Amino acid sequence: MSVAKIGFAGMGNMGQALLKAFTGARVCLPENIAVLSNSEDGKIAARDAGAAICETPAALAAFADIVIIAVKPKDAHELIRSLCPSINGKALLSIVAGLGYSELRKSLWGVKTRVLITMPNTPVQVGEGIIAFTNETDFNEEERDFAVRLFAPVAQVEWINEAQLAALAALAGSGPAYAALFAEALADGAVKEGLPRELSLRLAAKTLWGTGKLLFQGGRHPAVLKDAVCSPGGTSIEGIAALEGRAFRSALIEAVSAAASKFERLFPLNTNPDSK
């Protein structure tokens, strides 16, 4: 499967982000992509990307080698049922939050497809995302390799167990919101000290971006980078002390735990391998 045709079943926010990312990075040519969408926004996104628009589930299934389920959780089961008569023998890749392997299999009503559960985060829009693939998959080796090649130019690809999805969602899925909040607060601090708002926001964003790159490419523990910035008796350690005094790290740990707990309540995944 050196080249496969991709069909987006649904075109929610993440589907639109992936479509734009795939075509922008040229990892999948527009002529190899089709979209099935009930929304005008989804059809506009397809036209803007140069992808084909399918009017029926059968047309999408006839076009695609791999069908990507890209709708909100509340709409997933109805969409999958509409696809069932047409997707026998196809590969099905789900980006629906909280839709696990066993639940998806039940919605397929015994249709013979190969399934891969995934979870991307929003920075795929700029080619700096994360996507988790779950190990509970029956994609064949060629399809797994293609999925990795498809996403690798726009996201860091990680393989995890389905039981780890809640933690992954709380870190990588919700993490951009935490980072944005941190950037906004960092900029507020600079405004308080006299910098213009626009400049402060720009510097805060670039500081997060550059620090993330140092951590990721350098492979260093965050504490090493922190210590390299904090000179004895200097300004940075003074700021760190203020953060520690307000339980900054504890607050972030609790934020991840709270998000993971909410994910588990909303999406009680069946992770028993014997149920497959």
CA distance 101 to 161: 11
Please choose, from the candidates 64, 54, 119, the residue with its C-alpha nearest in 3D space to the C-alpha of residue 91.
64
Q: pTM for this structure?
A: 0.88
Does 1.10.287.70 match the CATH number of domain 6-160?
no
pLDDT band at 275 (very low <50, low <70, confident <90, very high): very low
Element (H, E) at 117: strand 114-120
* pLDDT, tens digit (0-9, with 9 covering 90-100), for 74-122: 899 999 999 999 999 999 999 998 889 988 988 888 889 999 999 999 9
CA max distance for the chain = 69
Fold topology of 173-264: ProC C-terminal domain-like fold (1.10.3730)
Residue 218 has a pLDDT of 82
Query: Is pLDDT larger for residue 276 or for residue 50?
Result: 50
CA 2 from chain centre, in angstroms, equals 24
Report the distance separating Cα 211 and Cα 230, nearest Å.
Answer: 14
Determine the Cα–Cα distance for residues 24 and 46; give it in Å rounded to an integer.
13
Residues 125-143: tens digit of each pLDDT: 888 999 999 999 999 999 9
CATH 3.40.50.720 in the chain, residue ranges = 6-160
Phi, psi (5° rounding) for residue 188?
-55, -40
Check residue 270 and give its pLDDT.
53
Residues of the chain with CATH 1.10.3730.10: 173-264
- Categorize the per-residue pLDDT at 272 as very low, low, confident or very high, splitting at 50, 70 and 90: very low
Judge whether 131 and 119 are in contact, CB under 8 Å: yes
Confidence of residue 273 (pLDDT cuts 50, 70, 90): very low
| 65 burial level (CB within 10 Å; 0-12, 13-18, 19+) | middle
- What is the predicted pLDDT for the residue at 1? 57
Average pLDDT, the chain: 92
What pLDDT is recorded for position 2? 63
Task: Count other Cβ atoms within 10 Å, centred on residue 135.
Answer: 13
Give the mean pLDDT of 229-257.
97
Structure tokens at 129: 């995302």
